């Protein structure tokens, strides 16, 4: 299967199954790094890939899940050596069936600031190194999986988009409560990843088919019918005695049948699944065609933990703004984040649904300050943010480090303004406020203001927003 055929929607796409559990079953020793299998046990790794290809997998995930600089420290091999060898094993297995090979990338193993100590930019650089290595080694696509932190996922998506031209799949792991370990909702994941321009989104790991189904349903409902969605559940849950997972291939296939109703694009397996699981999945989805009926889509802005549907009066807190506020201007010049954060907390307690963020005070470095304030605010409030600036660089800095889908305040109908702001909103998946004015100011006739609003709307749609 050529990578372009994956997206032609003519037939269902089958992913492969578990890798770590297969390596353990075939001789990986305790303490041995699974990421080094392509260098230390290449015949075994190639055999696993071959078994999945023969079972009907259209996409083989290379054994690169943890092949990043942090996890490979001290192993004696570089990221590039491990990635290249791993993709070569998958490529060799794919020769007989024509399967595609994905560069598989998992979490870095550290929480990002503010929850942890890893800086967003450092995470980006770690992912970028792996992605450049994968693209150079001949991967057909980038597969970001088992993510639990939306911020880390954003760093990985940006690294993929800015360091290669391959398709990007993303997958997060959710707990039974319907959120990831860090609290991210299904809906926040969906709109953020789609807004950042990924090619498919999914759910994998943590749970079995039965437990993941309601979350997969929410994922399909949060996206247009044409947007590709996939799942890779575990083989149920781990047994208490450590002897494996609790459902058989036959039961797995039976529990996957309800997914036929969701109009998925692809399916496979995660921990505990084997080639037999994938072979039986082929029977479950053999006559399915990707795609779902279109349904009305809400306008949404979000942080990882809170989604706000902009479908009526939406309350925006406007006090994080130095205009006419000498004390606020002083706080910004002095870098007094406590004063800024107090404004955020008080507005949150007063019922704001979104917080406007404007740091354009005289005598400050607005781009640097916008980035600093956005990061600080997201450490104390889960409300979505509205980034408010006429400084394009400040908007770009704030949008890049924002965790979720923000809204930009604002653009008007001036061609230069639209040309500067809309590409930023597209790249970072932001919504935007449109002001029905242009270079001539506020038009006295309603029809003229409507014409400007239409111009803004058409420009946004043309930009892919």
Q: 141 near 100, Cβ under 8 Å? A: yes
Contact 146, 173 (CB under 8 A): yes
Q: pTM for the full model?
A: 0.96
- Angle in degrees, CA 205, 24, 203, rounded to 5: 10
3-state secondary structure of 181: coil
Instruction: Determine the pLDDT at residue 243.
Output: 77
What is the sign of the dihedral through the CA atoms of 448, 450, 456 and 461?
Answer: negative
> What is the pLDDT at residue 52?
98
CB-count exposure of residue 387 (10 Å: 0-12, 13-18, 19+):
buried
Distance CA 303, CA 184 (A): 8
Which residues lie below 8 Å from residue 190, measured CB to CB, with a gap of 6+?
A: 201, 219, 222, 223
Reported as half-sphere exposure (CB side, CA atoms, 13 A), residue 279 has a value of 11
Token reading at 40: 């230390």
CA 213 vs. chain centroid, Å, equals 19
Report the number of secondary-structure helices (H) and strands (E) in the chain.
18, 15
pLDDT (tens place) for every residue of the chain, 465 residues total: 677 778 777 889 999 999 999 999 999 999 899 999 999 999 999 999 999 999 999 999 999 999 999 999 999 999 999 999 999 999 999 998 999 999 999 999 999 999 899 999 999 999 999 999 999 999 999 999 999 999 999 999 999 999 999 999 999 999 999 999 999 999 999 999 999 999 999 999 999 999 999 999 999 999 999 999 999 999 998 888 877 899 999 999 999 999 999 999 999 999 999 999 999 999 999 999 999 998 888 899 999 999 999 988 999 999 999 999 999 999 999 999 999 999 999 999 999 999 999 999 999 999 999 999 999 999 999 999 999 999 999 999 999 999 999 999 999 999 999 999 999 999 999 999 999 999 999 999 999 999 999 999 999 999 999
pLDDT at residue 1, as a whole number: 65
Q: What are phi and psi of 331, to 5 degrees?
A: -60, -40
CA–CA dist 387, 389 (Å, integer): 7
Alpha helix (H) ranges present in 350-391?
366-377
Mention every residue, 6+ apart, whose C-beta is less than 8 A from residue 133.
79, 80, 83, 84
pLDDT digits (tens, 9 = 90+) for 328-364: 999 999 999 999 999 999 999 999 999 999 999 999 9
SS3 142: strand
**DSSP alpha helices (H): ranges in 350-414?**
366-377, 392-401
Helical axes 150-163 vs 120-137, angle rounded to 10°: 40
């Amino acid at each position: 299967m050529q990578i372009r055929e994956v997206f032609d929607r003519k037939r269902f796409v089958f992913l492969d199954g578990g890798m770590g559990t297969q390596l353990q079953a075939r001789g990986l020793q305790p303490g041995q790094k699974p990421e080094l299998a392509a260098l230390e046990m290449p015949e075994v790794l190639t055999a696993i890939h071959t078994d999945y290809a023969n079972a009907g997998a259209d996409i083989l995930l290379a054994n690169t899940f943890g092949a990043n600089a942090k996890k490979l420290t001290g192993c004696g091999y570089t990221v590039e050596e491990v990635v290249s060898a791993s993709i070569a094993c998958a490529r060799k297995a794919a020769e007989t069936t024509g399967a595609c090979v994905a560069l598989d990338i998992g979490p870095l193993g550290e929480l990002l600031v503010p929850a942890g100590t890893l800086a967003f930019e450092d995470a980006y650089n770690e992912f970028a190194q792996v992605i450049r290595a994968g693209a150079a080694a001949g991967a057909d696509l980038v597969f970001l999986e088992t993510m639990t932190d939306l911020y880390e996922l954003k760093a990985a998506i940006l690294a993929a988009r800015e360091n290669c031209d391959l398709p990007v799949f993303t997958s997060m792991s959710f707990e039974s409560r319907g959120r990831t370990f860090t609290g991210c909702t299904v809906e926040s994941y969906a709109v953020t990843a789609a807004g950042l321009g990924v090619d498919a989104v999914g759910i994998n790991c943590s749970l079995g088919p039965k437990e993941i189904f309601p979350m997969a349903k929410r994922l399909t409902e949060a996206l247009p019918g044409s947007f590709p969605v996939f799942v890779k559940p575990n083989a149920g849950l781990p047994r208490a005695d450590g002897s494996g997972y609790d459902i058989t291939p036959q039961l797995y296939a039976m529990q996957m049948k309800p997914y036929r109703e969701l109009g998925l694009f692809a399916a496979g397996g995660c921990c505990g699944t084997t080639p037999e699981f994938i072979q039986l999945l082929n029977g479950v989805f053999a006559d399915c065609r990707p795609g779902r009926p279109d349904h009305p889509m809400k306008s949404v802005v979000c942080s990882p933990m809170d989604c706000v549907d902009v479908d009526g009066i939406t309350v925006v807190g406007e006090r994080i703004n130095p205009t006419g506020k000498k004390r606020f201007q002083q706080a910004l010049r002095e870098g007094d984040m406590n004063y800024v954060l107090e404004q955020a907390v008080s507005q949150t307690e007063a019922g704001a649904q979104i917080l406007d963020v404007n740091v354009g005070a005289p005598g400050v470095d607005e781009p640097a300050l916008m980035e600093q304030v956005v990061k600080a605010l997201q450490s104390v409030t889960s409300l979505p943010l509205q980034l408010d600036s006429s400084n394009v660089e400040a908007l770009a800095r704030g949008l890049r480090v924002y965790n979720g889908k923000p809204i930009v305040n604002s653009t008007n109908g001036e061609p230069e303004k639209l040309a500067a702001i809309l590409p930023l909103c597209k790249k970072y998946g932001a919504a935007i406020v449109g002001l029905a004015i242009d270079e001539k100011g506020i038009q006295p006739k309603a029809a003229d203001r409507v014409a400007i609003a239409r111009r803004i709307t058409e420009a946004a749609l043309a930009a892919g927003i």
